[in-house]
Amino acid sequence: MKRPSRVFILTGAGVSAESGVPTFRDANGLWEGHRFEDVATPSAWRRDPLTVWRFYTLRRRALLNVKPNAAHVAVARLQAEGPPSLLVSQNVDDLHQRAGSASVLSMHGQLRSLRCEASGRCEERMAEDDLHEGHMVTCTCCAAPSRMRPDVVWFGETPLGMPKIHDWIGRLSDGDLCLVVGTSGHVFPAADLARQARQAGARTVLVNLDEPLNAGDFDEVHLGPAGKLLPGLVDTWLEAWSADGPSV
């Protein structure tokens, strides 16, 4: 493969699966009997905030006990040693950052931070006091402290960074690379990005355990665990591209 001038990378829950972070739809899409769609919506937060708070607090706490895996490291290496790239993750964990990816656009938000419901200000809140399942926390920005919500994008809300993502995809051209790792293709707008990248001329490559809903959008499909497959693919690409010299 010729050295691309740009690389667009999209990751989903599967990239963190080998770190022990559960995916959404593999365990029947259920959390303690709740459908994910029922705990990841603004209406669930309005109807039953404590259940939603508990769902997110358990996941926020679990972040303290997981580490990046070989797939995160391979993505970071591709970014550091390959052509200019944009890494967009649907994941709310921070494992790409911890693996050394310098810049990550977390389009569905972040578990490490909470958002003030009154001002919209986000704060990193990972102290022991912020991680109680039974009671919510308040902000430090308002005169009368307001309730904080998880700093994530629920169904019906606008994903973050969409103008930047569309701008980057719009600048892809023939011979560029779009790499998608560990996502089921169920959730939009992320599920449409490979199709858009391919339309712009990029070669679309998928690394996923199972065939996703949008498998037809890919020029090359590698089925298997990302931690096993991705390091080899990245090595092969970097080696092939080094023969081409840096792109100008």
Give the interface segment with ligand BJW, choosing from 60-68, 75-83, 135-143, 154-162 (CB under 6 A): 154-162
* Member of 33, 120, 156, 246 binding ligand BJW (CB under 6 A): 156
Nearer to ligand BJW, 4 or 212 (CB): 212
Q: Which of 34, 72, 96, 108 is catalytic?
A: 108
135 included as an active-site residue:
no
Q: Residue 203's CB: how many other CB atoms inside 10 A?
A: 19
Tell the smallest beta-carbon distance from residue 244 to ligand BJW (Å). 28
Interior CA angle at 25 toward 19 and 27, to 5°?
A: 75
How many CA atoms lie within 13 Å of 161's alpha carbon, on the beta-carbon side?
Answer: 18
CA–CA dist 184, 47 (Å, integer): 28
188 interacts with ligand BJW by CB under 6 A: yes
Residue 33's identity, in one-letter code, is: G
- The site map against ligand BJW for 42-81 (x = CB under 6 A) is ----------------------------------------
212 interacts with ligand BJW by CB under 6 A: yes
CA–CA dist 57, 190 (Å, integer): 25
Nearer to ligand BJW, 42 or 201 (CB): 42
Tell the smallest beta-carbon distance from residue 6 to ligand BJW (Å). 21
- The site map against ligand BJW for 1-20 (x = CB under 6 A) is -----------xxx--xx--
Q: How many residues bind ligand BJW (CB under 6 A)?
A: 35
204 class by beta-carbon count within 10 Å (0-12 exposed, 13-18 middle, 19+ buried): buried
CA–CA dist 62, 66 (Å, integer): 7
236 interacts with ligand BJW by CB under 6 A: no
Give the interface segment with ligand BJW, choosing from 97-105, 121-129, 132-140, 176-184 (CB under 6 A): 176-184
155 interacts with ligand BJW by CB under 6 A: yes
Helix (H) or strand (E) run with residue 149 in it: strand 148-152
153 interacts with ligand BJW by CB under 6 A: yes
Tell me the CA distances in angstroms from 180 to 62, 121, 140, 208, 241, one per residue in order. 25, 31, 38, 8, 19
110 interacts with ligand BJW by CB under 6 A: no
Phi-psi region of 179 (alpha: psi -120 to 50; beta: other; left: phi over 0): beta
Residues with catalytic annotation? 108
